[in-house]
Amino acid sequence: MRQLVWSGIVCGMLLGCAGSNAARKDEAQEPAPTAEQEAPPTSVTPPGRPSRSPAAEAENPEPAIVMPLEVTETPAPRDPLSIESQSVKGSVLTLHVRHGGGCKEHRYGLAWDGRFTQTAEGEPRAELTVLHDANNDRCKALVYKELAFDLSTLKQEWSEKGRGDHATLHLDFNGAPDQSARFKF
């Protein structure tokens, strides 16, 4: 085993020395690539979603774009997607999702059928559907995304239906009761 390792090191050193003269000639003819020409680094988020380090924050500094809630009678989830976690701060719902892909641009949305129902415990409830269009992406990489949605439409509809200005809504996602959040306003 040691002989194989040392053989690999020696071969690597010899190839490196032989290639350095050719590399010097190429450097004189072509300028070094700039950061703009290089592919951007791919952000990989582990499934456990630990708190992000400052280095991770610097890698993806732009905040999630807050998308509107769509009101449609028959929302359908379309392509598969897993919700890793969810939280509500003010009127913004943040979802951490995971799905397959990695080769094409995906589109996301959040839809509501316009109805308020009740949970088994009698709490007011809104069933939300996370929309995902994978754009026929057949790649197998795991993609992690942070999505943000504006829930003010729910608050407005609640008030317009004469139910008052304050409530705590139980939010269910894609018909999975174990994936829920609370929206207090």
Distance (Å, whole) CA 143 – CA 138: 12
Q: How many Å apart are CA 16 and CA 4, to the nearest integer?
A: 18
CA distance 185 to 166: 5
pLDDT in single tens digits along all 185 residues of the chain: 445 444 555 444 544 544 444 444 444 444 444 433 333 333 334 444 444 444 444 344 445 689 999 999 888 778 998 999 999 999 999 999 999 999 999 999 999 999 999 988 899 999 999 999 999 999 999 999 999 999 999 999 999 988 888 899 999 998 776 788 999 99
| Cα(74)–Cα(83) distance, integer angstroms | 20
For 65-184, give the CATH class: mainly beta
Instruction: Parse the chain into domains and list their residue ranges.
Output: 65-184
- In contact, 146 and 62? CB cutoff 8 Å: no
Cα-based angle 38, 41, 42 (whole degrees, multiple of 5): 140
The tally of CA atoms less than 13 A away on the side-chain side of residue 94 is 9
Q: What's the maximum distance between 2 C-alpha atoms anywhere in the chain?
A: 81
Q: What pLDDT does residue 64 have?
A: 65
CB burial string 79-104: b at 16+ within 10 A, e below: bebbbbebebeebebbbbbbbbbeee
- The pLDDT value given to residue 3: 53
Give the pLDDT confidence score for residue 103 in this predicted structure. 94
User: Residue 45's closest CA among 62, 66, 60, 64?
Assistant: 60
Looking at residue 74, what is its pLDDT? Answer: 83
CA 37 from centre of chain? 25
Q: How far apart are CA 73 and CA 112, in angstroms?
A: 8
